């Protein structure tokens, strides 16, 4: 058996089986358990080494060939598999509370499998095609059959589809650049096409308009899942480009452009977050800020630190968006819309939901002692050493998001006098949200968990991680 069959094939087959299960609860439990199993398997079993089980010797091959192309999952990819399936398992387990597991688990498995496949495929240009397939699969996840597709969803489809041609063409030009690196025109053309492709894929400024719109139109939990997995894999895909091409890795201009894109994405999204009057849109802007942070982390002068921070940023993003979107889903089940006028004073009847929204928004804004703080602080320090104005703009963006979170807090706790206090959340909702908030604090208070990731990091990217 090969690693791609285990981590890419089995989830895809499981998706079809899970689709047939009608129970929301069982779909969530089985899907979450399988994702958890795949995550634990990724750190416990070595790839391409013989393992003795009694008298039986097993070796998991890293390569799977299909039509002359190869999917390669080697031991260096095990950290990514562990992280992604670990995160996905928690999303799947909570999906029954969000009452979306029947849609999220099967489609989520296919999307995860395709996106991880995009990191594993050789030649790597096929990645753009697999990402596009994942985008198409995400459409039924975001809009159910009985809901009119909104403008945000249409923009999501358009922007993500446009990324594919640019990345495919840039890949062709990059192979030309590898052959003749002195050809400046070719380098510029490849750079422009690659930049446009990633700008669409990662939804950076000014192509992020669909994110808040989708958060307003779609089921919050589905939107949260899409906003967690697509940019995360997109960033890793971007890092693999940097790792592969020496001239990209050694280009000072590229890092300057990335720094500019990262800071403008972060600052504009942070400022816009201040003025939002919709809890879903606020989450969308927080996710854009998180993408800006990851791009900025990539540009730090020390490549090892940069890659380390990019990986560490995956955790607060996933945890923050997971807790936030679950809380918004429960909130949406209790109020007609997520507009600030409608959710006013809901902290009295939905205290766990309110605490989760505030915890997640503050964590993504880097407030001490939540999970986002230690990593964002390190990033801020690193950027400040590169350029003081950059650090100031970073601070403005994060302050904007924080003000957005504070406004949400004020709206949630402002209720008319003598309002009766009672918690209308179910026990399941309380436990999941409570665990989420505890995790936000715990990861922030005990940042030593990051060692688990950082120790394995040098193996992930051959050249960048070192």
Partner 1 sequence: MPEQILWFAVLIVLMTSITFLLVRDWRISLAILAFQFLGMFLLVNSLWPLGMSTAKLITGWMTAAILGMTQSSFVIFPQQEGSWPEGRTFRLFIAALVIIAVISLAPSVLTWLPGISLPVTYGGLILIGMGMLHLGITIQPLRVTISLLTVLCGFEILYASIENSILVAALLSVINLGLALVGAYLLIASQSARVQKESE
Residues that bind partner 1 (CB under 8 A): 67-69, 126, 129, 132-133, 136, 139-140, 143-149, 151, 153-154, 157-158, 161-162, 164-165, 168-169, 172-173, 189
Tokens found for residue 57:
């010797």
3-state helix, strand, coil in the chain (%, to 5): 75, 5, 20
Least Å distance between CB 354 and partner 1?
31
If the CB atoms of residues 168 and 453 are measured against partner 1, the closer one turns out to be 168
Q: Could you tell me which of 283, 423, 457, 280 has the C-alpha nearest to residue 352?
A: 423
Q: Could you tell me which of 39, 45, 22 has the C-alpha nearest to residue 112?
A: 39
Q: Residue 123 gets which letter from DSSP?
A: S
d(CA 185, CA 196): 17
Least Å distance between CB 163 and partner 1?
12
If the CB atoms of residues 189 and 342 are measured against partner 1, the closer one turns out to be 189
Least Å distance between CB 265 and partner 1?
22
Strand partners, 434: none
C-beta of residue 90 within 8 angstroms of C-beta of residue 436: no
Q: Could you tell me which of 171, 162, 88 has the C-alpha nearest to residue 127?
A: 171
d(CA 203, CA 381): 25
Least Å distance between CB 69 and partner 1?
6
The H or E element containing residue 260 is helix 252-274
If the CB atoms of residues 119 and 143 are measured against partner 1, the closer one turns out to be 143
If the CB atoms of residues 126 and 311 are measured against partner 1, the closer one turns out to be 126
Q: Is the dihedral of CA 14, 16, 21, 27 positive or negative?
A: positive
Hey, is 365 helix, strand or coil?
coil
Least Å distance between CB 202 and partner 1?
20
Least Å distance between CB 356 and partner 1?
30
If the CB atoms of residues 54 and 146 are measured against partner 1, the closer one turns out to be 146
If the CB atoms of residues 153 and 402 are measured against partner 1, the closer one turns out to be 153
């Amino acid at each position: 058996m090969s690693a791609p069959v285990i981590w890419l094939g089995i989830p895809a087959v499981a998706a079809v089986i899970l689709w047939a299960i009608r129970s929301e609860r069982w779909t969530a439990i089985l899907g979450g358990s399988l994702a958890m199993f795949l995550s634990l398997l990724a750190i416990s079993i070595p790839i391409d080494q013989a393992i003795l089980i009694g008298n039986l010797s097993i070796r998991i091959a890293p390569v799977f060939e299909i039509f002359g192309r190869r999917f390669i999952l080697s031991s260096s990819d095990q950290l990514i598999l562990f992280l992604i399936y670990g995160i996905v398992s928690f999303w799947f387990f909570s999906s029954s509370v969000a009452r979306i597991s029947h849609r999220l688990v099967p489609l989520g498995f296919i999307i995860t499998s395709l996106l991880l496949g995009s990191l594993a495929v050789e030649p790597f240009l096929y990645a753009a095609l697999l990402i596009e397939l994942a985008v198409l699969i995400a459409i039924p996840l975001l809009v159910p059959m009985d809901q009119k597709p909104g403008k945000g969803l249409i923009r999501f489809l358009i922007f993500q589809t446009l990324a594919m041609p640019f990345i495919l063409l840039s890949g062709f030009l990059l192979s030309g650049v590898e052959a003749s690196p002195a050809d400046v025109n070719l380098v510029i053309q490849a750079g422009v096409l690659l930049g446009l492709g990633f700008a669409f894929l990662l939804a950076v400024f000014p192509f992020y308009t669909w994110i808040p719109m989708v958060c307003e139109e779609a089921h919050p939990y589905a939107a949260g899942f899409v906003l967690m997995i697509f940019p995360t894999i997109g960033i890793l895909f971007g890092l693999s480009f940097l790792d592969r091409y020496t001239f990209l890795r050694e280009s000072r201009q590229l890092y300057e452009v990335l720094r500019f894109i990262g800071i403008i994405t972060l600052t504009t999204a942070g400022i816009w977050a201040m003025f939002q009057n919709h809890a879903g849109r606020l989450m969308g802007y927080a996710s854009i800020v998180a993408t800006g942070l990851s791009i900025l982390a990539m540009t730090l002068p020390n490549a090892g630190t940069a890659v380390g921070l990019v990986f560490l940023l995956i955790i607060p993003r996933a945890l923050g968006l997971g807790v936030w979107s679950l809380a918004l889903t429960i909130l949406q089940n209790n109020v007609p819309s997520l507009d600030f006028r409608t959710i006013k004073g809901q902290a009295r009847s939905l205290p766990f939901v309110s605490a989760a929204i505030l915890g997640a928004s503050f964590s993504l804004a880097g407030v001490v002692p939540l999970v986002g703080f230690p990593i964002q602080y390190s990033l801020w320090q690193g950027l400040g050493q590169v350029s003081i104005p950059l650090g100031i703009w970073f601070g403005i963006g994060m302050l904007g998001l924080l003000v957005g979170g504070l406004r949400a807090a004020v709206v949630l706790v402002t209720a008319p006098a003598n309002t009766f206090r009672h918690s209308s959340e179910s026990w399941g909702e309380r436990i999941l949200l409570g665990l989420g908030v505890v995790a936000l604090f715990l990861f922030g208070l005990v940042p030593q968990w990051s060692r688990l990731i950082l120790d394995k990091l040098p193996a992930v990217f051959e050249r960048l991680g070192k």
